[in-house]
Amino acid sequence: MPGQVSQEIAAPLSEAEIRSGLVTKRIGTTVHLFLSVESTNDEAQALAIRGALEGAVVVADSQRHGRGRMGRVWASPPGVGVYLSVILRPAILPDAAPSLTLLGAVAAAEAIEEVAGLAARIKWPNDLIVRGRKVGGVLGEAAADASHLHHVIVGMGINVNQTEESFDGELRHTATSLRIETGRSLDRTALIRSLCEALDRWYDRFLSEGPAPVLERLRRSCVTLGRQVVVRSGDQELCGLAVDLDGSGALLIQAADQGLHRLFAGDVTLTG
């Protein structure tokens, strides 16, 4: 019809194609593929509670209520993004679980570089940045009691084939996609495979060597370190210089009073 804008029809995701050629020890040995879910993290949590094995992956073509950190909404339209969560059951103490979010960010950055040829950076603790704009994020959620970690869900959302028109309002200035940055459509299946393989490599190292290799890699890609930042956590606000990560992945902030503060979570804004 006159005036109609034609839309590119995305090829549907296929479990068989995702698993085809996937070479991993743990991640992706089981793939649960959905057309639409509330969120892949919620679906993975339910599977984990029912006893799903470590390494099981949940992938959805869209999410009705995708979410990021601090309760934020993650827009998850069909056919254009990668929305994936993985179940992990490491034998670690609950207070070590946040390092798995950092592991997910490192793996996602490597997958983006491999598939899109883009240098992906990480804004602590979980934002994936390409050329100064956010292309994805990682959400880690742990189930634990006082002394025992039952499982961790590491979820990822990556903007793959969105166009500039996909983003409304302020997002047009802060968000991007792999398609916008490369000028071409990307194969979502190839990115999912690469994500699973990168997760598998880094998780294997984490189990054998602890978080140190993950943190070393993160430091090389982290846009937060060496910058003046404002960190908000609840009603509290801290300003200072992000100087390093400690051995658990906490962000070390040198404040104006010369005190060194360890932050395990918070909303970070780069100011200088």
**12 is written with which tokens?**
């549907």
DSSP 11-52: PPP-HHHHHTT---SSTTSSEEEEEEES-HHHHHHHHHHTTP
- Looking at the DSSP bridge assignments, the partners of residue 60 are 34, 83
Half-sphere exposure of 272 (CA within 13 A, CB side): 6
pLDDT tens sequence across 160-207: 999 999 888 888 889 999 999 999 999 999 999 999 999 999 999 999
Distance CA 175, CA 132 (A): 9
Q: Side-chain half-sphere of 120: how many Cα atoms within 13 Å? A: 30
CA end-to-end span of the chain, whole Å? 50
User: What's the pLDDT score for residue 168?
Assistant: 85
Residue 84 CA to chain centroid, in angstroms? 9
pLDDT number for residue 53 = 96
User: What pLDDT, on a 0 to 100 scale, did the predictor assign at position 72?
Assistant: 62
- What pTM value is reported for the model? 0.91
Helix axes 212-221 and 99-116, enclosed angle (nearest 10): 50
Burial class (CB in 10 A: 0-12, 13-18, 19+), 121: buried
Calpha distance 227→77 (Å, rounded)? 33
pLDDT per residue rounded down to tens, the chain (272 residues): 333 333 455 778 999 999 998 999 999 999 999 999 999 999 999 999 999 999 999 999 998 866 655 456 667 788 999 999 999 999 999 999 999 999 999 999 999 999 999 999 999 999 999 999 999 999 999 999 988 999 999 999 999 999 999 888 888 889 999 999 999 999 999 999 999 999 999 999 999 999 999 999 999 999 999 999 998 877 888 899 999 999 999 999 999 777 899 988 888 999 97
The confidence score (pLDDT) of residue 66 equals: 65
3-class DSSP string for 204-271: HHHHHHCCHHHHHHHHHHECCCCCEEEEEECCEEEEEEEEEECCCCCEEEEECCCCEEEECCCEEEEC
Report the run of H or E that residue 86 belongs to, with start and end: strand 81-88
216 touches 205 (CB < 8 A): no
Contact (Cβ atoms closer than 8 angstroms) between residue 51 and residue 75: no
Q: Which domains does the chain have, with CATH numbers?
A: 15-221 (3.30.930.10), 228-270 (2.30.30.100)
